[in-house]
Amino acid sequence: MAEKPHINMVVIGHVDHGKSTLVGRILLDTGQFPAHMVEKFRIEAKAKGKESFALAWIFDQLKEERERGVTIDVAHKRFDTDKYYVTIIDAPGHRDFVKNMITGTSQADAAILVVAAQHGVMAQTREHMFLARTLGVKQLIVAINQIDATTPPYDKKRFDEVKADVDKLAKSVGYKDEQLQYIPVSAFEGDNVKDKKNNMPWWNGETIVKAIDNFKLADKPVNLPLRWPIQDVYTIKGVGTVPVGKIECGIMKVGQTLIFKPGVKPGGAVGEVKTIEMHHEQIAQGMPGDNVGVNVRGIAKNDIRRGDVAGPTDQPPTVAKSFIAQIMVLNHPSVITKGYTPVFHCYTAQVACRIEEIQKKLDPKTGEVKEVNPDFIKTGDAAIVKVIPTRPMVIEPSKKIPQLGRFAIRDMGQTVAAGVCLEVEEAK
């Protein structure tokens, strides 16, 4: 049997709206999790007075998360629908875990946004919607969850109200009708996750699992120039220098000449692809999404390092002297002013960068300019800024090569902001 096409899906939304319970329910109903284990979790959860968390625990297998009832890490699980095999990324709702959400979402072909029926749109719902849009998630299922807990239960009127609110928000950040699907669900009871039950005779739409089959697979970005960010560099006895990393876009072929930028020495390092390996097997060419180890002739281990990016010599990766970016401030304890120098996390690179100018403050809901050259920006603001890396780094305009145009900004052990690169002034 041929392998089904693969899709990456992230689950986002406000912290208490039932994301983990929904994921647990999907895994349970698609047969990814043995029923006797769930029974064990139910008994354990009841003993701790947290009965409603039993399904979430399927997913939150970290002990600390069970004690706190919060999702911390981005967990990956797979399940199958009729059409796809799906890797599900459960992105945490708490702000201090937003970095995980950014690294999680940037790999996602699609997302499920979970909104609780009784609470509707919350601040975090807005933030996650804007982030998903900024970070390039093109298609969304909106799961209006906990529909069993409305008054009266399974209330169509409440579903319609929340749907209208979410739809307004989605349109304001630029989503279109054909990118959105709305479904009333009870993750806890199992309504409309894999199967319909009889609690909502008014609903004639899809279940979550069926709606996932409506997602379209993104074309692999094979027509873009090759970009291969380096994760690690090994020296293997009798083989030579072997950089390892995930191909973000373009195609890598045996015999190709690559340039690694910025590299340790000025101008980067150049070498020839001798062999490409994936999962310990040699392959003739590497495609976007492939995690490969490559034996490169002509490069010493000390010529390149994690965070360098390889590309073809005729279309080399862009090293930035400065760049203009659109950012969203997620969580800063005070304010961000000119001269602020946090660490930018972009693909595998981590580089301290200085915010040289704050050019415009934007309304995060509409993207309209609110203020030109503001003195500062704070949590909740979106802005256009000019950035100067403190050492050479590769970054590409997200319109041209989105895979290398997204970043998270970290400081003081937390994610302060997220953004995309709009244009680059190249380093000469």
DSSP per-residue string spanning 112-135 = EEEEETTT-S-HHHHHHHHHHHHT
d(CA 158, CA 144): 10
Identify the domain boundary among 186, 213, 240.
213
**What is the predicted pLDDT for the residue at 367?**
73
Please, which residues have CB within 8 angstroms of residue 160's CB and are 6 or more apart in sequence? none
**What is the predicted pLDDT for the residue at 74?**
39
Is the same domain home to 325 and 272? no
d(CA 333, CA 362): 20
Output the six-digit token pair for 363: 């309304």
Is the same domain home to 369 and 390? yes
With a pLDDT cut of 70, the percent of the chain lying above it is 86
Residue 365: is its pLDDT beyond 80?
no
Residue 342: is its pLDDT beyond 70?
yes
Q: What is the pLDDT of residues 384-404, one digit of tens each?
A: 999 999 999 999 998 899 889
Smallest Cα–Cα separation from 208: which of 46, 28, 365, 37? Answer: 28
Residue 70: is its pLDDT beyond 70?
no
pTM, to two decimals? 0.69
Instruction: Identify the weakest region by mean pLDDT among 56-65, 303-312, 372-381.
Output: 56-65
Q: What is the pLDDT of residues 322-339, one digit of tens each?
A: 999 999 887 788 999 999
**pLDDT confidence tier of residue 53, bands split at 50, 70 and 90:** low
Identify the domain boundary among 181, 213, 245.
213
Output the six-digit token pair for 217: 């697979």
Please, which residues have CB within 8 angstroms of residue 306's CB and are 6 or more apart in sequence? 230, 231, 232, 233, 348, 349
What is the chain's length? 428
Counted domains in the chain: 3
Is 209 strand, coil or helix?
Answer: helix
Is the same domain home to 330 and 369? yes
DSSP for 63-93, please give it.
Answer: HHHHHHT---S-EEEEEE-SS-EEEEEE---
Identify the domain boundary among 297, 312, 327.
312
Residue 407: is its pLDDT beyond 80?
yes
Is the same domain home to 338 and 207? no
Is 153 strand, coil or helix?
Answer: coil
Per-residue exposure over 298-326, b if at least 16 CB sit within 10 Å of its own CB, e if not: ebeeebbbebbbbbbeeebbbbbebbbbb
Residue 222 lies in a domain: no
Pairing of strands 140-145, 110-116: parallel
Is the same domain home to 73 and 178? yes
Question: CATH number of the domain that 167 lies in?
Answer: 3.40.50.300
Question: CATH number of the domain that 384 lies in?
Answer: 2.40.30.10
Instruction: Identify the weakest region by mean pLDDT among 86-100, 202-216, 354-368.
Output: 86-100
Is the same domain home to 89 and 236? no
Residue 223 lies in a domain: no
Is the same domain home to 160 and 14? yes
Residue 218 lies in a domain: no
Residue 121 lies in a domain: yes
Average pLDDT for the chain:
85
Is the same domain home to 180 and 232? no
Residue 405 lies in a domain: yes
With a pLDDT cut of 90, the percent of the chain lying above it is 52
d(CA 190, CA 16): 18
Residue 221 lies in a domain: no
Q: What is the pLDDT of residues 278-323, one digit of tens each?
A: 878 899 999 987 889 999 999 998 999 999 999 999 999 999 999 9
Please, which residues have CB within 8 angstroms of residue 308's CB and are 6 or more apart in sequence? 229, 230, 260, 261, 262, 263, 268, 349, 394
Is the same domain home to 236 and 181? no
Residue 61: is its pLDDT beyond 60?
no
Is the same domain home to 127 and 199? yes
Q: What is the pLDDT of residues 28-48, one digit of tens each?
A: 888 876 667 667 777 777 777
Provide the residue range defining the domain that includes 282.
Answer: 228-312
Beta strands in 109-217 (DSSP E): 110-116, 140-145, 180-184
- CA–chain centroid gap for 210, Å, is 22
Bigger pLDDT: 38 or 232? 232
412 secondary structure, DSSP code: T
Residue 118 lies in a domain: yes
**Bridge partners of 148?**
none
Smallest Cα–Cα separation from 59: which of 77, 81, 40? Answer: 77
Q: What is the mean pLDDT of residues 219-245?
A: 90
Is the same domain home to 128 and 272? no
Across 4-13, 139-148, 275-284, 286-295, which has the greatest mean pLDDT?
Answer: 139-148
Is the same domain home to 153 and 235? no
Pairing of strands 393-394, 319-329: antiparallel
